[in-house]
Amino acid sequence: MNVLIVHAHPESGSFTTAMRDAAAQTLLEAGHDVRISDLYEMHFNPIASADDFLERANDEYLVYALEQRHADANGLLASDIKAELDKVVWADLIIFSFPIYWFSMPGIMKGWVDRVFVSGRCYGGMRFYDRGGMKGKKALVALTLGGQPHMFEADGIHGPLTDMLRHLLRGTLGYLGFDVLQPFVGWHVPYISEDARSAVLDNYRARLLALDSEQPMDFPSLNDFDQFLRPKVHQSA
């Protein structure tokens, strides 16, 4: 299996980075091929702009998604986007490794999503959910946060973690067609002991070795909707 780890943490000594390294080592030792995009180390540019295209289809008005389609089809994507898109195409599994910032991912990773998941290749028209361009690939979000599990229960102060990450799990990864696995979470990591941190890493390693047995999260199938994306009427027998 080809695995791409997209990592976003500004501190190389962080626990998030330790999780990334544990994942890479575990998967390599299991016989998989692993590549890492360390966005801070790469100084990845997160800003989507007209500079992302070597030439434009429309020089007068920038419609970013349409320019993505044109540039991808004609070999006109900026070199940093092309390099990351090639990794995405290569990968069977993409792991998104990051700390929670304001109920979301760091801005540098959001910029990677904006620039690399190009319209036309990854999605577009009726190519989303189970018809998305990433169909057949898996995605795993592996995150760290300061909160404790009880804070993210149904009646917890923040509500379910999957609700908090809906924009990423469903609105991005599910929409693109990935088989989205349940997130792996390093809970309360700024405040736990070294032994507890070691236990989190052990649990993460075990989880990674069992991914093939997991069922992905459930998202809509376009087969259940008509050409106008209205639910089909199911006739009773």
Q: How many domains does the chain have?
A: 1
**pLDDT at residue 14 tops 60:** yes
Query: Residue 88: CB partners within 8 Å, gap ≥ 6?
Result: 4, 94, 116, 117, 122, 134
pLDDT for 233: 78
Q: Is residue 78 part of a domain?
A: yes
Reported pTM: 0.95
**Which residues span the domain enclosing 19?**
2-224
H helical segments located in 46-186: 64-73, 79-90, 107-116, 161-164, 166-168, 175-176
Q: Does 206 map to a domain?
A: yes
Once rounded to an integer, what is the mean pLDDT over residues 1-6?
A: 98
Tell me the per-residue pLDDT of 91-100, one tens digit each, with 9 for 90 and over.
999 999 999 9
User: Does position 68 have pLDDT exceeding 80, yes or no?
Assistant: yes
Predicted local distance difference test score (pLDDT) of residue 234: 64
Report the alpha-carbon distance of residue 176 to residue 64 in Å, rounded. Answer: 17
- Confirm whether 25 is domain-assigned: yes
- pLDDT tens digits, one per residue of 24-64: 999 999 999 999 999 999 999 999 999 999 999 999 999 99
47 in any annotated domain? yes
Within a domain: 207: yes
Evaluate whether residue 46 is within a structural domain: yes
- CATH of residue 71's domain is 3.40.50.360
CB atoms within 10 A of CB 41: 13
231 within some domain: no
- The answer to the question of residue 237 being in a domain is no
Q: Give the C-alpha separation, 99 to 102, whole Å.
A: 10
How many Cα atoms sit within 13 Å of 180 on the Cβ side? 24
